[in-house]
Amino acid sequence: MIFMKILLAPSETKTLYKDTNFDIDSLLFANLLPQRKDILEKYNEIIKDNNPEEIKEMFGLKKDNDIAQYLKTIDNQSPACKAIKLYTGIAFDYLKYDLLETKAKIYIEKNVIIFSNLFGPVLAGDTLPLYRLQQGENVRDKKTDEIYKKYSSSLLDEYLRDDDILDIRAGYYDKFYIPTKNYTTLKFLKDGKVVSHWAKAYRGKVLRECAKNDIQNTKDFLALNIEGLQIIELQTKKNKTEVIYEIGI
């Protein structure tokens, strides 16, 4: 039976709900544990060394008040919550996870893979601690995108082998993983022009509708009626099919 997995980018902004304690061993793909621990060790070293310039660069923040909440090392006693609740960027605001019915929440927790800059690919239902790593920043000598692409790509290929794939990540996250089988992506147009910043909002809206309607394959996804969006074209190149939406129709 075919199911659909949805690939989602993280957000740099976060809010911790302190539901449980973090357990790095429980994250998706136990084979990534050595890489995760190695990267986390370097991350904790930066926090302990407390070099303001290095921390500002890694966090992508300038104000002390914004930085303060992230200045804690991470271990298996750190407070944590489900990844889908931790992130609070635009896509997550439009997803409105907390307002979904239980069935839709479970759909997201089991079917959405989030590409954490620090921990790599995790399920939306996996628990994560509060952390901060600006997109594209290294953790000292650790280039996380390169590391996770090297060590997780084959794991993801196997994990997704029997599933349809909807990739709603920003293009940057191709640095972490590009599916080797057929997959679907999205593009949003307004008056014929590509929407960039607000594409995050529409990705969140699409994910919300997938969860509410229990979408399990690409065929059902393409038939999904989403208010304010209309499919105007499908473009297929090699193994990628891009669904082009016009906004406001």
Predicted local confidence at residue 141, as pLDDT: 95
Residue 67 has pLDDT above 90, yes or no: yes
pLDDT band at residue 173 under the 50/70/90 scheme = very high
Predicted local confidence at residue 249, as pLDDT: 53
Predicted local confidence at residue 2, as pLDDT: 61
Angle at CA of residue 201, ends 195 and 202, nearest 5°: 70
pTM: 0.95
- Per-residue pLDDT tens over the stretch 29-52: 999 999 999 999 999 999 999 999
Predicted local confidence at residue 28, as pLDDT: 98
Predicted local confidence at residue 3, as pLDDT: 80
Query: What number is the average pLDDT over the span 131-144?
Result: 96
pLDDT band at residue 184 under the 50/70/90 scheme = very high
Cβ–Cβ < 8 Å for 145, 139: no
Residue 193 has pLDDT above 80, yes or no: yes
Cβ–Cβ < 8 Å for 140, 46: yes
What's the number of domains the chain is made of?
1
Query: What number is the average pLDDT over the span 128-141?
Result: 96
Cβ–Cβ < 8 Å for 185, 243: yes
Share the mean pLDDT of the chain.
95
Tokens of 134: 């600006």
Predicted local confidence at residue 1, as pLDDT: 55
C-beta neighbour count of 79 within 10 angstroms: 16
Query: What number is the average pLDDT over the span 134-151?
Result: 96
Predicted local confidence at residue 213, as pLDDT: 97
Q: In whole angstroms, what is the distance from residue 35 CA to residue 44 CA?
A: 14
Q: In whole angstroms, what is the distance from residue 209 CA to residue 216 CA?
A: 12
Query: What number is the average pLDDT over the span 52-64?
Result: 94
Predicted local confidence at residue 198, as pLDDT: 86
